[in-house]
């Protein structure tokens, strides 16, 4: 009986599109996400102009406050709300509509996250939490900031459990079948969100008594390690979200078929099990960590390259096969047959190309000797912006041009598509200027996390100025891109012509090999993931606790 009900819901969903209740959830998350993008982007521009020496920020809203707010708004709010809005629409579409209790959990999670962000932002505005996005000791913020983080994590867990419940219900009613591929991606992302946020939760629970003054000192090494176990995972969650669109949506938009379903699921599994270990490469120059542990984490970090190379092969295979079917010839001229004028393809395609230098930069930072050159320089900021700001975010933008019309019952007009292409060009050129100059000036020694300074007119510091001007130009172009993108999202949500928009999911090839059912065993995947986490973290964390370094009192450096 339940199966019959589900089947009816699936048919209704297919015929009528997303239900209004489910659409409202996704729209609400996207509204918060793109509002955060606008505010965070503006703060980023202020940062860029200050860093180039073109703007003096007032003492009541200084560079480090701006940096903290920019990071929190874009790294925690924009990306998280986009991911949840996108994947809850996926779960609704692919699994026959959200269950009533899952909808309720989505709204409870929404409320908790908003409440948590308000709590976290108030002390930032009051200059009581200028601790950067990384917020680990010994710098200590107002306790209210950390209470806000607790509510944010609780909201994430509520949403993850809602997603697990939705998938479990579908599996119960569709025994023996494979979870639809995009819902499979969603499962992987929420597994990472839940398990990846556990270390940072422990860290915040350590910090709160310290920030309240109940304990005098804190184990800084342990706190940093717990943070990066989360921070490293978060980066790869963004990557997995982008990859979901590359594998499933982009082939449909260009008129092709998906690459192997089995390979796609194996890539998801690999990205899930290998993500949390590897966080130590962010601490590669930290003292107190055995070299053997660092080497282990370097290997685990580099292991992420394998599924990335598999993805590169799969995607370019799909592109070539589709283009040749459309008459493309030659070694490279078949590229002309791809729909470069369609923003739904152009934006994620540029995002994929950007991942080539972005991934190479990640390899540089994972290696001990190369990391010595770029550690704590602007290079790291440039790498971050080309991977998150281009590979992930430009894919998110591309997703908007079909997702927002789909959940809003509207259509993408040729005029809006053209505006999207212009936005993509602004974003790409801006990122080339900004990220490129950050990479170069970082190699020349310019530090990150500092406002503009010539270090008493030191000749080396003065030589950075021309590159910092390019940084400011790039930041300005990116801000124009932000304004266009936010306008496009709200226009498509509320003002575009009404109509039906397809949820683009490419089919597998006709001669595709049947996907083995062991890929559905999420219990096994999670056990393997936890074993790898234990391999990477148990020994060093026990060492940090048993032979703990001297604890640190709280510092307020601003």
Q: pTM for the full model?
A: 0.94
Angle between helices 79-94 and 20-51 (to 10 degrees): 160
The helix (H) or strand (E) run that includes residue 537 is helix 522-546
Q: What is the pLDDT of residue 288?
A: 81
CA 494 to each of CA 26, 39, 499: distance values in angstroms, whole numbers, following the listed order: 14, 20, 12
Q: Could you give the 3-state DSSP secondary structure of residue 209?
A: helix
Q: Provide the Cα torsion 161, 162, 163, 166; round to 10°.
A: 120
3-state secondary structure 426-443: HHHHHHHHHHHHHHHHHH
CB 199 within 8 A of CB 280: no
The pLDDT tens digits of the residues spanning 160-218 come to 999 999 999 999 999 999 999 999 999 999 999 999 999 999 999 999 999 999 999 99
Gap between the Cα atoms of 250 and 261, Å rounded:
15
Gap between the Cα atoms of 148 and 534, Å rounded:
29
The token duo for 261 is 């379903």
Q: How many helices (H) and strands (E) does the chain have?
A: 20, 0
Gap between the Cα atoms of 298 and 277, Å rounded:
10
**Letter string b/e over residues 64-81, b meaning 16 or more CB atoms within 10 A of that residue's CB:** bbbbbbbbbbbbbbbbbb
Alpha helix ranges (H) inside 287-413: 291-303, 305-325, 343-366, 368-374, 378-386, 393-408
Q: What is the pLDDT of residue 17?
A: 67
CB 371 within 8 A of CB 364: yes
DSSP 8-class letter at 449: S
The pLDDT tens digits of the residues spanning 434-469 come to 999 999 999 999 999 899 999 999 999 999 999 999
Question: Going residue by residue through the chain (558 aa), what tens digit of pLDDT does each one get?
Answer: 334 455 555 555 555 568 999 999 999 999 999 999 999 999 999 999 999 999 999 988 999 999 999 999 999 999 999 999 999 999 999 999 999 999 999 999 999 999 999 999 999 999 999 999 899 999 999 999 999 999 999 999 999 999 999 999 999 999 999 999 999 999 999 999 999 999 999 999 999 999 999 999 999 999 999 999 998 889 889 999 999 999 999 999 999 999 999 999 999 999 999 877 667 778 888 888 888 888 887 888 888 888 999 999 999 999 999 999 999 999 889 999 999 999 999 999 999 999 999 989 988 888 888 888 898 999 999 999 999 899 999 999 999 999 999 999 999 999 999 999 999 999 999 999 999 999 999 999 999 989 999 999 999 999 999 999 999 999 999 999 999 999 999 999 999 999 999 999 999 988 888 999 999 999 999 999 999 989 889 988 999 999 998 999 999 988
Q: What is the pLDDT of residue 4?
A: 45
The pLDDT tens digits of the residues spanning 119-171 come to 999 999 999 999 998 999 999 999 999 999 999 999 999 999 999 999 999 99
> What are the backbone dihedrals phi and psi of residue 178, each rounded to the nearest 5 degrees, phi first?
-85, 135
Gap between the Cα atoms of 323 and 298, Å rounded:
38
């Amino acid at each position: 009986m339940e199966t019959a009900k589900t089947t009816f819901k699936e048919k209704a969903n297919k015929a009528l599109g997303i239900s209004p209740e489910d659409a409202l959830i996704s729209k609400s998350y996207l509204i918060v996400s793109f509002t955060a993008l606008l505010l965070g982007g503006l703060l980023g521009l202020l940062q860029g102009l200050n860093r180039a020496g073109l703007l003096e920020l007032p003492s009541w809203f200084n560079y480090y406050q701006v940096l903290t707010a920019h990071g929190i708004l874009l790294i925690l709010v924009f990306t998280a709300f986009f991911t949840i809005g996108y994947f809850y629409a996926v779960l609704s579409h692919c699994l026959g509509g959200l269950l009533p209790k899952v909808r309720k959990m989505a709204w409870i999670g929404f409320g908790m996250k908003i409440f948590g962000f308000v709590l976290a932002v108030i002390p930032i505005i009051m200059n009581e939490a200028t601790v950067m996005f990384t917020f680990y000791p010994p710098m200590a913020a107002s306790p209210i900031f950390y209470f806000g983080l607790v509510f944010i994590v609780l909201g994430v867990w509520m949403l993850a459990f809602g997603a697990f419940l939705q998938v479990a219900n579908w599996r119960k009613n569709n025994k023996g079948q494979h979870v639809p591929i995009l819902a499979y991606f969603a499962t992987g992302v929420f597994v990472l969100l839940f398990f990846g946020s556990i270390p940072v939760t422990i860290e915040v629970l350590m910090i709160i008594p310290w920030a309240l003054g109940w304990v005098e000192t804190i184990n800084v090494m342990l706190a940093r390690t717990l943070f990066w176990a989360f921070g490293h995972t978060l980066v790869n969650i963004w990557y997995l979200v982008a990859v979901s669109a590359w594998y499933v949506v982009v082939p449909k938009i260009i008129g092709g078929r998906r690459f192997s379903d089995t390979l796609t699921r194996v890539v998801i599994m690999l990205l899930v099990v290998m993500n949390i270990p590897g966080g130590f490469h962010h601490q590669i120059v930290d003292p107190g960590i055995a070299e053997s542990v660092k080497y282990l984490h370097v290997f685990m970090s580099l292991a992420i390259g394998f599924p990335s190379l598999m993805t590169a092969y799969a995607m370019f295979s799909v592109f070539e096969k589709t283009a040749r079917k459309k008459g493309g010839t030659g070694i490279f001229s078949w590229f002309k047959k791809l729909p470069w004028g369609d923003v739904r393809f152009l934006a994620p395609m540029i995002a994929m190309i950007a991942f080539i230098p972005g991934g190479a930069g990640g390899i540089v930072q994972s290696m001990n000797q190369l990391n010595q050159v770029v550690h704590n320089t602007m290079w790291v900021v440039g790498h971050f912006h080309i991977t998150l700001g281009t590979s992930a975010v430009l894919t998110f933008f591309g997703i908007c041009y079909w997702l927002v019309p789909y959940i809003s019952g509207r259509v993408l007009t040729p005029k809006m598509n053209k505006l999207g292409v212009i936005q993509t060009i602004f974003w790409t050129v801006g990122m080339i200027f900004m990220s490129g100059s950050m990479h170069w000036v970082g190699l020349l020694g310019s530090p990150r996390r500092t406002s503009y300074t010539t270090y008493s007119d030191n000749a080396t510091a003065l030589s950075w100025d021309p590159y910092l001007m390019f940084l400011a130009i790039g930041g300005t172009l990116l801000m124009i891109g932000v304004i266009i993108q936010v306008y496009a999202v709200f226009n498509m949500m509320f003002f575009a012509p009404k109509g039906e928009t397809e949820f683009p999911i490419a089919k597998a090839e006709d001669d595709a090999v049947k996907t083995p059912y062991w890929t559905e065993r999420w219990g096994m995947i999670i056990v393997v993931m936890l074993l790898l986490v234990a391999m990477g973290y148990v020994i060093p964390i026990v060492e940090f606790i048993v032979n703990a370094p001297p604890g640190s009192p709280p510092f307020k450096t601003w």
